[in-house]
A and B are shown apart, each in its own frame.
Chain A
Amino acid sequence: MTMNRRKGVAIAVVLVFCTAILGLLTVLMMNSRHQRGSHSMQYDQTRALMAARSGIQLAIYKYRVLPSEYYRIHQMAIDIKNGGGNPAEFNATREMWLRDFRSENPDTPAARIKAHLDAGVSILPGDPPAGSYEFAVEEFDLISRSLAGYTQDYLRVRAWGSFRGTRKTMEELIEVKIAE
């Protein structure tokens, strides 16, 4: 009887150990899978950020080559703020300005950049073949900040980029000098 009882205890102890080890293993595997997920997500986020950066470059460059055209939009925004102007006309004009920076719009510089970026994505089994990158500039405006004794104007550009559904937003503030 004593011998049988001891045998049972030994097996029970082993089974308890095994259960504990299996539990540990499960936690470890889940942790490992989660790590692997965040591993690729970080890469996707960086690529999304690079796409957003492309949109910002495009937007700043357009402002540099067509400043007068943008100042008209800015003036319309000021007029609306002061109670005048036509909001519908302002929105239509602003949308025309921003159209070039949205990769979803066909026949735009952004669409061509997206096509170039998509073509460079290495296609692995299970990857979507195209349409991986998207980006757009969502905010583009001139802002003024009062500093010690003078006012500084900035161009504020906010863009988002996405890669395989992982989206990142970035904002850039560039000092500009506006002639009176």
Chain B
Amino acid sequence: MSRTGRMADFAGSARRGVTLVEILVALFIMALAILPAIGAFSSSYGVASRQLEQEIALKLGESVVSVLLTANYDRLLAGTLGTIPLNIQTPSGDFSGSLVFTGMTASSTAVAIGRASYRISAQVTTLFHAQNIETPHDDALVFGFRDFAPPPLPPGPPPPGPPPPLVATYSCFDDLVCLRVRVEYGQREAVELETFRADMSK
């Protein structure tokens, strides 16, 4: 073998060795960059999934609130609503189940929509109690309004200036109830919605 040929072989082998090291270094650097990227993608996917699940849970909650706002008020108050069928359409699937009332609380069976399972519960609580003429109490809903009846004149000279408007009050003879709906979904997530309902039937 000539001297020139040996030099060429040496140069070739040295180039191969350096390229391998280069590839390993490059792979290491790429791995450093790609691993967090995979983590970030996974986290972003998780956030997007949770958002979709929460959106569905909120839609279910709002629908159940609407159902309870139109349910028979007397039966709602007495806790005798029994079973209310629920057929709620969501973009990811339908919730077909029922809300079973036991007294003032209700719950549904778990229904799977997409990858999550949704369970609805509801509670009815009375915040203002109907006024009772026989036994008046301070827990009734009281409204204020302007009293147009002329006030009795106090003895003596009238006070200077125009009299201030009088406020009359009215104590209501119906309950005002709070409707609380809770939708559990995913592992430990839940949304809770609360609104109030008055008796509009009379």
B170–A66 touching, CB < 8 Å: yes
A50–B165 touching, CB < 8 Å: no
B142 interface contact, C-beta 8 A? yes
CA distance A99 to B168 in the complex (A): 13
B144 interface contact, C-beta 8 A? yes
Contact with B along A7-45 (1 / 0, CB 8 A): 100110111011001101100110110011011001100
B176–A61 touching, CB < 8 Å: yes
Beyond the given A10-B22, A39-B50, A53-B195, could you list 10 further A-B residue pairs with CB under 8 A, ordered by the A residue number?
A14-B30, A17-B30, A21-B33, A28-B41, A31-B44, A47-B194, A61-B198, A64-B198, A64-B200, A65-B172
B22–A43 touching, CB < 8 Å: no
CA distance A45 to B116 in the complex (A): 23
The number of chain B residues with a CB under 8 A from chain A is 59
CA distance A142 to B194 in the complex (A): 28
B80 interface contact, C-beta 8 A? no
- Residues of A within 8 Å of B95, CB to CB, are none
B22–A35 touching, CB < 8 Å: no
Q: Which of B163-190 contact A (CB under 8 A)?
A: 165, 167, 170, 172, 174, 176, 178, 180
- Residues of A within 8 Å of B202, CB to CB, are 64
Minimum CB–CB distance from A154 to chain B (whole Å) comes to 15
B144–A99 touching, CB < 8 Å: yes
Partner of A29, one of B14, B40, B61, B144: B40
A162 interface contact, C-beta 8 A? no
A72–B148 touching, CB < 8 Å: yes
* One of A77-85, A108-116, A123-131, A144-152 at the interface: A108-116
Partner of A92, one of B18, B69, B146, B195: B146
Name 14 A/B residue pairs within 8 A (Cβ), A-sorted. Answer: A7-B18, A15-B29, A21-B33, A28-B41, A32-B43, A36-B47, A51-B195, A57-B176, A57-B196, A60-B198, A61-B141, A61-B172, A65-B174, A96-B167
CA distance A58 to B64 in the complex (A): 20
Contact with A along B37-72 (1 / 0, CB 8 A): 100110110011011001100100110010001000
B146–A93 touching, CB < 8 Å: yes
Which of B44, B61, B143, B176 lies at the interface centre, i.e. has the most chain A CB atoms within 10 A of its CB?
B143
A42–B167 touching, CB < 8 Å: no
A113–B37 touching, CB < 8 Å: no
CA distance A25 to B18 in the complex (A): 31
B51–A39 touching, CB < 8 Å: yes
8 shortest A-B CB distances, which residue pairs? A61-B198, A54-B196, A50-B195, A21-B33, A32-B44, A18-B33, A14-B26, A69-B145
- Residues of A within 8 Å of B145, CB to CB, are 66, 69, 96-97
CA distance A57 to B30 in the complex (A): 61
CA distance A58 to B197 in the complex (A): 8
B195–A109 touching, CB < 8 Å: no
- Residues of A within 8 Å of B43, CB to CB, are 32
Minimum CB–CB distance from B101 to chain A (whole Å) comes to 20
